[in-house]
Amino acid sequence: MAPMLTIEDARQALAELPHWTLDASGKSIARDLRFADFNAAFGFMTRVALIAEKMDHHPEWSNVYNRVSVRLTTHDAGGLTQKDIALARAVDAVAT
Ligand code: H2B
């Protein structure tokens, strides 16, 4: 199992992920995204879903029309791991 990131590691990783915020507990990171319309938002989710399934790492997320909220944590580890950082990078790559 991937080891949990220390709070220092998490902060360092987030320095390169400016769209993401660390939650107060330090156990998850989150990003809110806004798209042109529902089609664009759901297209984004579909593309991320295919990547997430390949990574065997899945987001906690919700969608309202053109908005998508994404939260990443590693349930198995009880906090943040490199898997969350990798998925955050993938989310950013799909979003741009
Ligand atoms: N996704 C996330 N975000 N955290 C996990 O701990 C996790 C996962 N574990 N996807 C995986 C699947 C695990 O439940 C399966 C059995 O591999």
Pocket of ligand 1 (CB under 6 A): 56-58, 74-76
* Cα→Cα distances 23→3, 30, 39, 53, 61, Å: 19, 7, 29, 24, 15
Question: Residue 60: which of 34, 29, 83, 35 has the closest Cα?
Answer: 29
Distance of CA 55 from the midpoint of ligand 1 (Å) = 9
8 Å CB contact between 20 and 14: yes
Band the pLDDT of 2: cuts 50, 70, 90: confident
Calculate the average pLDDT of the chain.
97
Give 50-74 pLDDT, tens digit per residue: 999 999 999 999 999 999 999 999 9
Q: Which atom of ligand 1 is nearest to the CA of 77?
A: 6
Asked whether residue 96 carries a pLDDT value surpassing 90, the answer given is no
Q: Distance from the CA of 57 to the center of ligand 1, in angstroms?
A: 5
